[in-house]
Amino acid sequence: MRKGLQTANNSENSTYRILAVDDEIGIVDSLSIFLKRTGYQFVGVTDPTEAIELVKKEHFDLMILDFIMTPYHGDQVVEEIRKFNKELYILLLTGHKDLAPPLETIKRLDIQGYCEKSDKFDQLLLLIESGIKSIQQMNEIKKINAELTDTYRRLEDSYLESIQALRHAVEAKDTYTRGHSDRVSAYSVLIGKKLGLSEDDLESLRVGGLFHDIGKIGVPDSILQKVSALTDDEYAQIKQHPIVGIQILSNASIFQDILPIVKHHHEKFDGSGYPDGLSGDNIPYLARITSIADGFDAMTSSRSYRNSLPLETVVSEFKKYAGTQYDPNITSVFLDILNTDFASIQEIMDKYK
């Protein structure tokens, strides 16, 4: 019975790789015989530098490391390894208790255990078995986390598809909005690049532009398509679309970074916008960029009550309202794009007609 149990353990142990590092070849040879007999895959080296390179190139589950070695002590080896590998389970061997590294060093380098060298390996084997159990548990946790992440990603993908369908439904409600979100998205990214923003911010601008008007799904068609002037009540309903947009998008973590854009792209620099009447730097920066992109597309798109405005008029409007409706610094950057790189603007217009 015990023989069968030993065979089962050996079979299970064979999936784990152990690296032993000791500048005494006799210790390495003894560990090799002992651990291979126990079923583990074993690699032993006497050179600490070689051990570091091995850990860089190959996978090991556990390392047994001598403390007093040349040219590097064990804690120095661990210091190097922890720069690129935080997960390797490390056991430290010491020749004498009084030569063990300080407890503070053991904690700082995340050394999982240490024991004194001995002709018998009983204590070391117990530490190894304990370490392997910890590794098994961590591997299981990683597996579960990966499965949860995959499930969550699939749920988010499904949610994103639903929101995309809503966005297209908004465009179907109002001819003007067809292509509008795509253009606002592209204009916003163009401005962001000119401002030298990070890739994360550019991605937020891209996605925020696509979904900034998602809340218009809650605005009646009769208001969206109205040719004559809106009544106060109708305009009040229009002004609710940023709040509705937040309610739609806030349930998914993938949209958290764009919520400020969706909520505040109708704020004005002088505080007269909606929904919160924010002013100046209190308006989220990316929302100020999207506001300019949104305003530009509104002026250059044909509406049911007017044709698109000539570029000269658009430039004049931006100059007029810089500092009141729009952030003056971002407006200046956008006017520079219109002046020096209108080809990029035209390319977006042609792509999303």
Task: Judge contact between 110 and 86, C-beta under 8 A.
Answer: yes
Please, what is the Cα angle at 144 between 139 and 148, to 5 degrees? 145
Cα–Cα distance for residue pair 264/295, rounded to 1 Å: 13
**Which two tokens mark 232?**
């106060």
The residue from 173, 216, 263, 268 that is catalytic is 216
Q: Could you tell me which residues come within 8 angstroms of residue 280 by beta carbon, excluding any fewer than 6 positions away?
A: 269, 271
Peptide bond into 48 cis (omega under 30): no
Active site residue 216: yes
Task: Judge contact between 292 and 191, C-beta under 8 A.
Answer: yes
Three-state DSSP state, 218? helix
Long-range contacts formed by 107-116: CB under 8 A, 24+ apart: 109/75, 109/78, 109/79, 109/82, 110/82, 110/86, 111/75, 111/78, 114/67, 115/91
Please, what is the Cα angle at 168 between 268 and 296, to 5 degrees? 30
Q: Name residue, tokens 């730097």.
A: 281
Please, what is the Cα angle at 307 between 303 and 311, to 5 degrees? 115
Active site residues: 216
